A and B are shown apart, each in its own frame.
Chain A
Amino acid sequence: GQQLNQSPQSMFIQEGEDVSMNCTSSSIFNTWLWYKQDPGEGPVLLIALYKAGELTSNGRLTAQFGITRKDSFLNISASIPSDVGIYFCAGQNYTGANSKLTFGKGITLSVRP
């Protein structure tokens, strides 16, 4: 089946630093999504990407849909303590009603004040 690779499993950064996360796949996707999960909550959608090469920003977050359609990255600039959480990438290759998102295993981000 399709798999998304996110590594490392954990990242530790200093407040104010930028951080970049990558997500790669062995399969092509036509939709890439990035989610954030706060402790004790469900994942919340941050950014959605629908076109190869697309670059989209949401405040301090920027995400790109890779040209090969097999990867995506998320950048967080000027990190703050509330950026702590688990960041998931997800991809979909729509083929019909049973098409589903494939999720990466997530990266746990810690921000040191």
Chain B
Amino acid sequence: NAGVTQTPKFRVLKTGQSMTLLCAQDMNHEYMYWYRQDPGMGLRLIHYSVGEGTTAKGEVPDGYNVSRLKKQNFLLGLESAAPSQTSVYFCASTRQAVSYGYTFGSGTRLTVV
């Protein structure tokens, strides 16, 4: 049982480049989330999805887009990367909105130069 898998684990981008981060879960979870973690800032919610085909904005959505075409996958896109998007990105999922806790992936460390 893999849980939540994030790819890639590390990436360096040049300013203005685009990329997609993939999150895959094999637990049949309905809800999925993308967070970014920066020193001293904790976990900040970027976008989330309450089911296949749905997406919604979180706390810091600017500069990011997401898609949930399949229930098991949640993609986070950066269309034109900026140095301010240098961060560690975490995906999480849970079965239902009444939370018994999110399951997190191991993160993607992104550096934009």
Contact = CB atoms under 8 A, between A and B. Distances in A.
Interface residues of B, number: 25
A42 B98 contact: no
B74 to A, nearest CB: 14
Contacts of A101: 99, 102
A63 interface: no
Given A9-B40, A103-B42, A106-B42, A98 B50 contact: yes
Residue of B90, B99, B103 with most partner-chain A CB within 10 A: B99
Interface of A is mostly: loop
A88 interface: yes
Given A41-B107, A100-B33, A33 B45 contact: no
A45 B42 contact: no
Interface string A13-57: 000000000000000000101010000111111001000000000
Interface residues of A, number: 25
A44 B43 CA distance: 13
A105 B43 CA distance: 7
Interface of B: 4, 33, 40-43, 45, 48, 50, 56, 58-59, 90, 92, 97-107
Given A44-B104, A48-B101, 5 more contacts: A40-B107, A41-B107, A92-B98, A92-B99, A96-B97
